[in-house]
Amino acid sequence: MVVATGFIIGACTENPDSAGLEYMPDMYRSPAIEPYVDYGELRGRLNPEQALKQSALTPPNSTIPYYGTNKEEVMMMLPYNRLASPAFASTHGLFGIEYTKNTTPDYEYNLAAADKNPLLLTKDNSDMIFKKGKDLFVANCMHCHGEKGDGNGPMVASGAYSGVPNYADKAMLGDGQLFYSIYYGKGAMGAHASLLNKKEIWTLVHYIRRFQNAEYGKVSDTGAVTGMVKSDTTKAAMPLVDAPKGK
């Protein structure tokens, strides 16, 4: 008893922020792997073999990143429900992904015509979405598609590329087909899935619509969002699947 009492008293410290003597620190301080940590030096322990090695590794295939607690945004960021054609492995360099088993050309692309943009425009977010869309377009698209979306960007004008479409001619495409084309690539355009997340691509879809209808997404005096293109008002809502429960 005396030894135990002495041990407890000896573990105390005058520092009110200190836990005192840590007998089993891993019981309450997680030893779990953390990203962006140099494991060559951890808690005062040196391990030269691990020094300066990358600790943030690529997540396992099909895992879902954490995107907060807003259901609409979480659902938007779930793995894409449309699959690429196996031909994309050779035409667009897409490897290590799941391909559709249907051999019909553009099978999944045609199905995507039914996908509605889940990023809904409102009078409160319209200006912000189009501002973000412009920034994304300038950084990722304008060099080929041109400032006006007419297919006459600097890369086309230089003669490096040809055949870039005028967005005004694509007004009848569904929201989902525009998304699919940006996500996986289309024609000579490569996939942008590694460059843009799903919310950013849906934002671009809204921005592209304004090339097709100058009034698209503008807010009227009554507060209504106006100028929707025909394909945007006739397509079905994008099918979303609830996240798995209990896992």
- All structural domains of the chain: 71-234 (1.10.760.10)
C-alpha 22/C-alpha 244 separation (Å) is: 39
- The answer to whether 217 and 129 are in contact (CB under 8 A) is yes
- Looking up tokens 């691509």 gives 201
Residues constituting the chain: 247
From 99, 79, 81, 101, select the one nearest 91 (Cα to Cα). 99
- The answer to whether 219 and 239 are in contact (CB under 8 A) is no
Q: How far apart are the first and last CA of the chain?
A: 47
pLDDT tens, N- to C-terminus, the chain (247 residues): 666 676 566 667 677 766 666 666 556 555 565 666 677 776 677 778 877 777 777 777 777 778 888 898 989 988 899 999 998 988 888 888 889 999 898 999 999 999 999 999 998 999 999 999 999 999 999 999 999 999 999 999 999 988 899 999 999 999 999 999 999 999 889 999 989 999 999 999 999 999 999 989 988 877 778 766 544 444 433 433 333 333 3
Using the 8-state DSSP alphabet, how is residue 79 labeled? P
Residues sharing a CB contact under 8 Å with residue 122, sequence separation 6 or more, in sequence order: 225
Sign of CA dihedral 102, 104, 107, 108: positive
DSSP strand pairing (41-42 vs 218-219)? unpaired
C-alpha 47/C-alpha 145 separation (Å) is: 51
Please give the full DSSP string across 128-190, using - where no structure is assigned: HHHHHHHHHHHHHTHHHH-TTSSS--HHHHTTS---PPPGGGGTTS-HHHHHHHHHH-BTTBP
